[in-house]
Each structure stands twice: as C-alpha cells, then as structure tokens.
C-alpha cells in the first residue's frame, strides 16, 4: 500500500472514530485517545491491563471511555452547576416579580386583610378584637420598627409579646385571648400574607393557665334597684327600666328600635346582638305594666327610629360614654361598682354595672318561683347551663305571667296608685287577659275590674 493510501485510510479512521466524548486516533498499529478539557488538549496512548498497546478498535474505545471518565464527570458537574445557577437566577427573578405584583401583607394592613376574610364574629366581638390588634401593632412599632410585614414576625418576636402584656398586670385570661386573636389573624390571612410559619400557635407559644378570679356582676337588691331607678332622669330612667323588666343586655337596650316594640301585643321582639351573627333568632319579651306605662309616655307620632335616640347614638359612636354614665349614676346612689383585684392586678374588677340589671332580672324571677325554662327563654339563652350562671323558646302566656309578676321598683308609689295613661291601662288589660287561664281567673279578675274602673 502506498503512503498516500495509508494517509487516506488514517483520515477515514479518524473521522469515523470521532465522538463527543473524545477522539480515537490510530497511529501506525496503535490507538491513541485525544480530548479537550477546560480549553486544553490532551493525547494519550491506550494500553491494556498489562500495559501493552491496544491495536483493536473495540478494545480501544472501551479503554478511552475508562480514561476519559474523570474528565467527563468534571465537565458534567460544571454543566450541572451552570444550569443550577441559571435556574436559581430565574427563580429569584420570578420571585421578585411575584413579590412586586403580590407583595406580602404589611402589618399596618393586617386588620383590613383579616376583615376581608369575613370572620365569623359579631360587631361587639370585632370591636374587642380591633382594640387588641391595635395594642399589638403599637407594641411592634415601638419595639420592632424594622419589621413591616406579617410574615416577618418570628417566633422569637412573638415570645416577647406575652411578657409585655403581663407587665401591665393584666390577667392570664386576657393574655391568652390576645394570643388567640393573633393566631387567628395569622391563620386567616395566611394565603395573601405569604406567611410560612404562624408564630402564635400553641405548639410554638404555649399558654399559661389563668388564675381564676371571679368577675361576675352581682345582682342588686330591691332597695338598690329602687334607688337607682327612681333617681334616674331622662333616657337613663327608661334605659334602667328596660334592664330590670326585660333583662336585655346593654347593647340591645341602648339600640332598641320602636319597630321592635309592639305596644298593641304588649311585646318586645329582638334578635340579641351578641348571637345575631351565628343564631339570628328573635326572643319575645312581654312588657311589664310599669315599663309599658313608661314607653307610652312617648307620643305615638314620635315612635320612630330608636326608643332611646341619644343613648343609641352615644353607644354606636362612643360606647364608653354610655357605660361611664351608668357607672357614675350607680356610684352617685352610693353603690360601689368596683373592687380591688385579689391577685394584685393593676386594674380593679367591675362588680356592678348595667349587666347587673340582667342578673337582677333573673334573680327576681327566681324569688318568684318562675319556671327555669321560662327564664331561659326570656334571657335568650341557648342552654340551661348559661341560665344557671345568672341564678335562675318558651310558652308566651307563661312568659307574660312571669313578667307581670315582677314588682314595681321604678315608681315612687305602688302600682295601683300610679296614674297611667288610658293607652297604657288598656295595654295592661290586654296583657292580663291574654295571660289569664282557668287556674288564674279568680286572682286576675279583681285586677281587670280595677283597671276597667280606672279607664
């Protein structure tokens, strides 16, 4: 074979044996491996396990693969690292874009975000929640001003807040309520706030057991009721009478509307605001003759809107103005409304307030022997256990009879001596007639005759 023919053969071999993992070169009878790594070219002769030159192509390819494996592995790592770097850069860019389009919820907007989740709570509860949230927000601004987003509040920061609350000498129950609220807010806004960890949950922030200290409002005695009711003036007089004779909570008595008062049927129909959000069922309360007489003092053409317009306005805009006025009135009557905390807390405990009238209403029924189920219906309790807490849907006749039996503690004279309007007297007659049964006819007849004679 001529030299030219040999060169042509070698060129053909070189071309056929070139691969992406290196080039197999035949020089004479021996095979060589040629490759490039990090910009530098390498050429090595291929030998078998005994060190003898390899002259067969199949064996040469296997030997070249073994020789180049470490270099190829290095290349693969470089390529992989480069791809990972590129992927991380892309993910960072995407995250930055998403954060720009949908930024995490700032702490300052946390309450609004919580309200947008439509939390299942009534207006009064939401007011308390908002107060507790604002207190936390003020604390964050003073102690962690650089933490601006909800998701940036860490467990370490959360652990500091209960200590701040306890330093204010509040009860452990109050602390737990605040932590419950914050855990709920973080849970509800989790998606929009991009929160990874809720730092307020019990597993991350254990609660302490509260030291029990009774804060139950006590009922007033008959003499105390007479004093506070008979010395009241203006809307306060009717507000207190509503508490005594209907047992309504302050939120319901202060915002009672004339459309909820049926003087013809001698009834008050009201959906309690405390349970309206979860159980919008109205309770029906018969109107006591004394309360009926007071309601009838308002002329028929004026019975529109709120029964107590000034009180309703104050309660809806500045509830403290109403509660403070009630407490001041009780104190002016010589009634101590607070007592010092037995656990050394900073704040005194309120023992007498408007809610005491609700307790007094239940206590009066208990003294008169009113059936437990009747009291339960009048107070709007969903369970007998709650009624027992006060000391004492119901048959309307029994309800009317129970209300009518309550004593007159508002008028300075006895009920028989009170000069009621003809309209009020007729309403009393109707109430007695509706509540009269075969068993009570003998006792009710004299009262009806006396009222008819008055008319």
The range of the structural domain enclosing residue 41 comes to 3-84
For residues 435 and 391, state if they share a domain: yes
Residue at 48 is within a domain: yes
Contact indicator for 225, 360 with CB cutoff of 8 Å? yes
Asked if the model's pLDDT at residue 374 lies above 60, the reply is: yes
Which tops the pLDDT comparison, 396 or 103?
A: 103
Residue at 223 is within a domain: no
Which tops the pLDDT comparison, 61 or 370?
A: 61
Asked if the model's pLDDT at residue 305 lies above 80, the reply is: yes
**319-332 helix and 235-246 helix, angle to the nearest 10 degrees:** 90
Question: What is the C-alpha separation between 153 and 179, in angstroms, rounded?
Answer: 14
Averaged pLDDT, 431-437: 69
Contact indicator for 155, 204 with CB cutoff of 8 Å? yes
192: left (phi over 0), alpha (psi -120 to 50) or beta: alpha
User: Which region among 183-187, 417-421, 442-446 has the lowest average model confidence (pLDDT)?
Assistant: 417-421
For residues 44 and 120, state if they share a domain: no
What is the reported pLDDT for 344?
A: 61
Residue at 99 is within a domain: no
What is the reported pLDDT for 18?
A: 46
What is the reported pLDDT for 366?
A: 78
Asked if the model's pLDDT at residue 444 lies above 90, the reply is: no
For residues 177 and 263, state if they share a domain: no
Asked if the model's pLDDT at residue 208 lies above 60, the reply is: yes
For 19, the 3-state DSSP assignment is strand
**pLDDT band, very low/low/confident/very high, at 135 (cuts 50, 70, 90):** very high
Most confident of 148-162, 364-378, 398-412: 148-162
Question: What is the C-alpha separation between 117 and 107, in angstroms, rounded?
Answer: 16
pTM over 0.75: no
Residue ending a domain, choose from 193, 218, 251: 193
Beta bridge partners of 36: 41
Residue ending a domain, choose from 174, 193, 212: 193
Residue at 132 is within a domain: yes
Asked if the model's pLDDT at residue 317 lies above 60, the reply is: yes
Contact indicator for 388, 356 with CB cutoff of 8 Å? no
CA 374 from centre of chain: 32
Residue at 101 is within a domain: no
What is the reported pLDDT for 212?
A: 53
How many domains does the chain fold into? 3
Residue at 360 is within a domain: yes
User: Which region among 21-30, 72-81, 160-169, 221-230 has the lowest average model confidence (pLDDT)?
Assistant: 72-81
What is the reported pLDDT for 1?
A: 45
For residues 60 and 120, state if they share a domain: no
Pick from 103, 131, 107, 110: which is nearest to 189 by CA? 110
Please provide the average confidence, as pLDDT, over all residues in the chain. 78
Asked if the model's pLDDT at residue 414 lies above 50, the reply is: no
For residues 54 and 117, state if they share a domain: no
What is the reported pLDDT for 199?
A: 92
**pLDDT band, very low/low/confident/very high, at 179 (cuts 50, 70, 90):** very high
For residues 252 and 353, state if they share a domain: yes
What is the reported pLDDT for 389?
A: 45
For residues 340 and 269, state if they share a domain: yes
Asked if the model's pLDDT at residue 364 lies above 70, the reply is: yes
Question: What is the C-alpha separation between 452 and 78, in angstroms, rounded?
Answer: 107
What is the reported pLDDT for 98?
A: 56
For residues 270 and 392, state if they share a domain: yes
For residues 410 and 343, state if they share a domain: yes
What is the reported pLDDT for 392?
A: 38
For residues 79 and 112, state if they share a domain: no
Which tops the pLDDT comparison, 146 or 403?
A: 146
For residues 246 and 349, state if they share a domain: yes
Residue at 216 is within a domain: no
Asked if the model's pLDDT at residue 139 lies above 90, the reply is: yes
Tell me the CATH number at 444: 1.10.443.10
**pLDDT band, very low/low/confident/very high, at 41 (cuts 50, 70, 90):** confident
pLDDT in tens, 92-101: 766 555 555 5
**pLDDT band, very low/low/confident/very high, at 257 (cuts 50, 70, 90):** very high
Averaged pLDDT, 383-412: 59
H/E segment holding residue 270: strand 267-270
Contact indicator for 299, 144 with CB cutoff of 8 Å? no
Residue ending a domain, choose from 30, 52, 84: 84
Residue at 10 is within a domain: yes
For residues 247 and 371, state if they share a domain: yes
């Amino acid at each position: 074979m001529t030299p030219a023919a040999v060169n042509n053969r070698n060129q053909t071999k070189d071309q056929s044996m070139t691969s992406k993992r290196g080039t197999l070169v035949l020089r004479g009878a021996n095979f060589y491996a040629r490759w490039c790594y990090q910009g530098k070219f390498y050429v090595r002769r291929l030998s078998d396990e005994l060190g003898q030159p390899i002259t067969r192509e199949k064996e040469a390819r296997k030997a070249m693969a073994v020789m180049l494996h470490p270099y190829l592995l290095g290349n693969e790592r470089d390529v992989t690292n480069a791809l990972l770097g590129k992927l991380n850069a892309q993910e960072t860019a995407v995250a930055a874009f998403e954060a720009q389009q949908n930024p995490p919820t700032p702490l300052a907007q946390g309450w609004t975000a919580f309200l947008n989740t439509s939390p299942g709570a009534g207006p009064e509860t939401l007011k308390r929640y908002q107060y507790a949230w604002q207190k936390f927000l003020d604390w964050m601004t003073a102690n962690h001003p650089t933490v601006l987003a909800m998701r940036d509040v860490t467990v370490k920061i959360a652990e500091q807040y209960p200590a701040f609350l306890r330093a204010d000498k509040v009860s452990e129950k109050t602390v737990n309520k605040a932590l419950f609220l914050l855990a709920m807010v973080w849970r509800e806004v989790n998606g929009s706030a991009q929160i990874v960890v809720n730092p307020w949950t019990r597993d991350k922030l254990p609660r302490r057991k509260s030291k029990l200290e009774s804060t139950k409002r006590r009922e007033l005695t008959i003499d105390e009721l007479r004093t506070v009711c008979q010395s009241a003036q203006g809307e306060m007089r009717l507000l207190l009478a509503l508490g005594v004779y209907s047992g309504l909570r302050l939120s319901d008595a202060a915002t009672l509307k004339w459309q909820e008062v049926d003087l013809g049927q001698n009834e008050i129909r009201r959906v309690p605001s405390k349970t309206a959000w979860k159980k919008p069922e109205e309770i029906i309360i018969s109107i006591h003759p004394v309360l009926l007489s007071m309601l009838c003092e308002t002329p028929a053409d004026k019975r529109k809107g709120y029964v107590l317009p000034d009180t309703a306005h104050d309660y809806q805009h500045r509830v403290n103005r109403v509660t403070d006025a009630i407490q001041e009135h009780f104190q002016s009557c010589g009634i101590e409304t607070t007592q010092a905390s037995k656990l050394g807390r900073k704040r005194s405990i309120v023992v007498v307030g408007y809610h005491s009238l609700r307790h007094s209403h239940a206590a009066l029924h208990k003294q008169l022997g009113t059936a437990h189920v009747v009291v339960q219906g009048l107070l709007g309790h969903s369970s007998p256990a709650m009624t027992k807490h006060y000391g004492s849907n119901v048959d309307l006749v029994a309800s009317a009879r129970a209300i009518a039996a309550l004593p007159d503690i508002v008028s300075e004279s006895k009920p028989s001596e009170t000069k009621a309007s003809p309209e009020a007297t007729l309403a009393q007659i109707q109430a007695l007639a509706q509540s009269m049964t075969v068993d009570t006819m003998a006792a009710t007849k004299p009262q009806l005759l006396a009222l008819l004679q008055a008319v």
